[in-house]
A and B are shown apart, each in its own frame.
Chain A
Amino acid sequence: MVKEIALIGIVGIMSYGGSKSAFALDVPISASVTGSCVISVENNGTYGQPNAYKLSTAPADGGQMPITRVDVTLASAYKVKFTAPDSFSSSPVLNDVVTFTGDTEVSAVSDATNMADYETDKVEVDMSDEYTLSATGSTWFKHSSTANNGGDRAFPSGNYTAYVTAECIAI
């Protein structure tokens, strides 16, 4: 009788242990990582006027270059394209044809090893500069823009606005 009770007890303990593992809960820890691109404007641009017929963002001309930062969370998933302005979006009535020039350069990177080639590998087409963002992290770009009024005629007085277009496109 004692042996039977002991056997039932052992079987009970074993089955309890077995059922415990059979009903063990796996607690899921899930995550959904979605890549994204962030375009940040770190410095507003302003035109300086070194002479009557020229507007320039160059600091030497009294201007300020706009600086943008692009952050990507996936490597080789985005290209970024900057297009310098080729006209004013707002201005007084102009008295001649204005010629625009512009450029974009990498000014800083968050990963010096993997982003070192960004500037040398950029593709320039007309007023656009295109970079493939092959590493995750942040890249800072500075943009220059110059507007020359035709015939060296003085720009009419008033407010002038022109835009750099920054595009971050998934590839």
Chain B
Amino acid sequence: MYRYLIFLLLVGNVNAHQMSPTYPEWSASYLDGISNTRVRLFNKREDVKYYEVGVFDKDMKPIPFVTQYHLRGVNFNQYATFDIFINDKYKKDAVYVCTESMLTEVKSSGVASKICSKFK
């Protein structure tokens, strides 16, 4: 019983940022010359309300893309799905899709998190 309580205390405060899949793939969209992919994020960070999504090349330089919200509010303990559209001419340069926590000064944990999946 005591072990269980201690475990609860330890995990109760954990703030987590999760993203999947590790290796997303582009697929043809309903628009000519445009491909799309989807990544999923889980926000278990109480100190983070917004996440920014970005697409980058191999040197982490930004690549043009379209999504509904580049900066998106994700409530605590909620999943969010990002549908990302890219012009086919940029597709071969796109290597990473990343989500990054946007920290507010109040109640911050002192750690900014960024997770990047890779197009192979």
| Residues of chain A having any CB pair with chain B under 8 Å | 34-42, 44-46, 66, 68-69, 74, 77-78, 89-90, 143, 161-171
Q: What would 23 A/B residue contacts be, using CB atoms closer than 8 Å? A: A36-B21, A38-B18, A39-B16, A39-B115, A40-B15, A41-B14, A41-B15, A41-B110, A45-B111, A66-B109, A69-B14, A74-B22, A90-B105, A161-B110, A162-B110, A165-B111, A165-B114, A166-B111, A166-B112, A167-B113, A167-B115, A168-B114, A171-B118
Q: Which residues of A contact B15 (CB under 8 A)?
A: 40-41
Known: A163-B103, A164-B110. Is A41-B45 also a contact (CB below 8 A)? Answer: yes
Known: A66-B110, A161-B105, A168-B116. Is A42-B14 also a contact (CB below 8 A)? Answer: yes
Main secondary structure of the interface of A (DSSP, over half): strand
Which B55-75 residues sit within 8 Å CB-CB of chain A?
none
Q: Which residues of B contact A44 (CB under 8 A)?
A: 108-110
Chain B interface size, as a band, is 20 to 34
Q: Which residues of A contact B109 (CB under 8 A)?
A: 41, 44-45, 66
Question: In the assembled complex, how far is the CB of residue A105 from the closest CB belonging to chain B, in whole angstroms?
Answer: 15
Q: Which residues of A contact B17 (CB under 8 A)?
A: 38-40
The answer to whether A36 and B20 have CB atoms under 8 Å apart is yes
CA distance A55 to B16 in the complex (A): 27
The answer to whether B16 and A38 have CB atoms under 8 Å apart is yes
Question: In the assembled complex, how far is the CB of residue A9 from the closest CB belonging to chain B, in whole angstroms?
Answer: 56
The answer to whether A45 and B110 have CB atoms under 8 Å apart is yes
The answer to whether B112 and A170 have CB atoms under 8 Å apart is no
With both beta carbons as reference points, the residue of chain B lying nearest to A36 in the complex is identified as B20
The answer to whether A166 and B19 have CB atoms under 8 Å apart is no
Q: Which of A36, A38, A170 contacts B118 (CB 8 A)?
A: A170
Q: Which residues of A contact B23 (CB under 8 A)?
A: 35, 77, 170
Known: A66-B111, A170-B117. Is A78-B22 also a contact (CB below 8 A)? Answer: yes
The answer to whether B110 and A40 have CB atoms under 8 Å apart is no
**Ordered nearest first, which 8 A-B pairs have the shortest CB separation?**
A35-B22, A36-B20, A34-B21, A170-B118, A45-B110, A40-B16, A39-B113, A38-B18
